[in-house]
Amino acid sequence: MIPIWLYLTVGAALFCIGMYTVMSRRTAVAILMGVELMLNAVNINLVAFWRYGEQLTPAGGAVIAGQAFAAFVLVVAAAEAAVGLAIIIAVYRNWRSVEVDDVDLLRW
């Protein structure tokens, strides 16, 4: 059996790579990809903690909170990707650019 700290380390590494992508890339599409990586790193942690935790409630039912949480994260990530990419396409239509530095209309 794989010890849990390996899963957590992979999750941490993935989260940090995603964070680096978000902070350093110029293109908005690449930034969204980094956000997806971060959300998935969180999902790995959630499912790992669920797997290594208690599986049965005192009443005899199954504990499913980690999986349910991960599924909802997945739903929100899908919604975020759809809306985010729609915004990117709308921005591209107006600015002819997908680089986040070019879109500075609201910058003070």
Partner 1 sequence: MIIGQLTPDAFAFGFFTLLTLGGAFGVAMNRNLVRGVIWLIVSLFGMAGFFVLLSAPFLAAVQVLVYIGAVGILFTFAVMLTRGMTNIRERYNEQWWLSALVSLAAFLLLFFVVIVPVWGNADPITAPLEVATTVDFGISLVDGNQYVLPFEVASLLLTAALVGAIVIAREED
Q: Convert residues 84-103 into a mask of x (bound to partner 1 by CB under 8 A) and - (unbound).
A: -xxxxxx-xx---xxx-x--
Backbone angles phi, psi at 9, to 5 degrees: -65, -40
Min. distance of Cβ 108 from partner 1 in angstroms? 19
Min. distance of Cβ 105 from partner 1 in angstroms? 16
35 binds partner 1 (CB under 8 A): no
Subset of residues 2 to 21 that bind partner 1, contact rule: CB under 8 A: 2-10, 12-21
Placement of tokens 């992508």 in the chain = 21
Min. distance of Cβ 58 from partner 1 in angstroms? 14
51 binds partner 1 (CB under 8 A): yes
Whole-angstrom Cα distance, residue 17 to residue 34? 8
Min. distance of Cβ 107 from partner 1 in angstroms? 14
- For 92, what's the count of Cα atoms within 13 Å in the CB-facing half-sphere? 11
75 binds partner 1 (CB under 8 A): yes
For CA atoms 57, 63, 69, 75, the dihedral sign is negative
Are the CB atoms for 7 and 50 separated by under 8 Å?
no
